[in-house]
Structure formats: structure tokens, C-alpha cells
Amino acid sequence: MTAPPAAAASSSPLVAGRDFYFERGRFVLTAEYLLRRGTCCGNGCRHCPYRKASKRLSKPPAPPVDVANTEPTSTSSTGRAGGF
């Protein structure tokens, strides 16, 4: 049986430039390392490959709009729709 990615990532030493780098004194993990780790830690990592996917899934898709059954927009005193 092989070890899961999280165990594999944590058991091997980190390699500078491949797994992390320093920016203004801060330790920054790379997307390559985060993918090998296997899950999102929830800390808002700069290169998190999981954060974008979770944002897409957090909002349900908007229902389709039936243009034929929509009410016309009221006009303002300028005569333009939408009150501009």
C-alpha cells in the first residue's frame, strides 16, 4: 500500500525553490508542494491550487433567464432605461 500524498509531502524534506521561497521575510509554499500535500489547509496560501476550485463551487449557478417573460425596465425622466 502506498502512502497518501499528504504523508508523502510531509515525510520528505522541503526543497528551496521547488517547495517554498522567502518573500519579504515570509515563508511561501509553492503550488507544486501544495498539490503534493493533497488538501487545502484553509490558511489562504498565496499559491493554493484548491482555493480557486472551492470558490467556484461555493456559489450555486444562477438560474437561466427567460428573456421572453421579463418585464421592461422603467424609464427615468431622461427617457433612458435604467435611470441613467
pLDDT digits (tens, 9 = 90+) for 12-61: 899 999 999 999 999 999 999 999 999 998 888 889 998 765 554 445 55
Q: Which residues of 37-55 are buried (b: 16+ CB within 10 A; e: fewer)?
A: beeeeeeebeebebeeeee
pLDDT score, position 4: 47
